[in-house]
Structure 1
Amino acid sequence: MDRSDSLPLVGVVALQGAAAEHVAAFRRVGARAVEVRTPADLDGVDAVALPGGESTTMSHLLGTSGLFDALSERLADGLPAFGTCAGMILLAAEVLDGRPDQRCFGAIDISVRRNAFGRQVASFEADLATDGLDEPFHAVFIRAPWVERTGDGVEVLAEIRPVVNSSGTGKPALVPVLCRSGPILVSSFHPELTVDDRIHRIFLAMVGASRDH
């Protein structure tokens, strides 16, 4: 048997957004990775990644491609998933300011706010103290969401103090930007746009733990 066949296979949803960057990152950390555009592309994958992009557009394309229902079934069966930025919005249980027709998978019990840090001109980078990492992670935030509520069983791995809070008044509180629950990992930022693959390694370890069970 080819040794590569024993490596976990990660399917990266490639309807819109930074899919190629995720594929490259997963391959660098020792996984196989393929782009997913149709329900058939999910066959045989051990995990899935939903990249950054535009969440309403991605939600629409997931529906028209038939991927939404197929992926929803796999997630309900315990498929590990990693969502970054728009991907985090799609995996969340609640989008506080989403469009009425926007669909989410409800794979992790969090409430998120889209574009919470501001529009494209408010994009920024920051060093995040991250649970499980010895050194801060240099994170790229682009029209990023943040988490306003975490449910039972959701572990917050990184937080940041925004320039303003959601109401625009008072002293800003720390907001979660990297969360984990069961086989689901979500981030407000774009680890796929850096050369630091440690967040992808965290997810790959989660995939390995899921395969062992």
Structure 2
Amino acid sequence: MLDVTVIEDAEAAAVSLDPVRARLLAELAAGPASAAMLAGRVGLPRQKVNYHLKTLERHGLVELAGERRKGNVTERLMRATAASYVISPQALAAVQPDPDRFRDQLSARWLLALGARLVRDVGSLLTGAAKARKRLATYALDGEVTFASAADRAAFVEELTAGVSALIRKYHDGEAEGGRPHRIVVAVHPEVRPEAGTGPEAGTGPVEAPAGPEATH
């Protein structure tokens, strides 16, 4: 079972968003089960559960884990193909966000468009790497910083922008024979803490815009 997989097909995305099927996916991510076992957990007749399982299987969201005999019946044990799923913007190709339509480093919506492109591109790369049975070379950095003031945040963003831009200038070689371009995305945004309530202090409401450019490349 994969830790996470990206759903690129529109029909598969629609199937996964059905509340009953989403519940079945969650149950099967915890371990293999048959339609009869799942029927008791989700409160549906076995026949209906079996119908939903066949639909999920047809779209590659669940797979056969094994079979077992129970009396005169052979039960199919199914399992989820991944522990979690992410729906790619490719599933809504006609209306997917396009960060190239505009560029605004202070726009949260532009940041969201960049994030959507990241999910789409990495999902496509993962699919290709899996078919080629090759590993995909990626890197990610995740951290947290608490700023004492908006001025400190602006200064941090300015230094981050300068540092990353300097590294890009140092290592970028657009004329390298056989070189492969890589996408770099750096983002700064408030932490979301819904348990603390709402408002700027909780990170769930609007916050003042940074005084400097947002660190997104």
TM over 0.5, shorter chain: no
Structure with a larger share of its residues in strand = 1
TM-score interval (norm. to shorter) = under 0.3
Give the TM-score of the pair, scaled to structure 1: 0.23
Query: Which entry has the higher C-alpha Rg, 1 or 2?
Result: 2
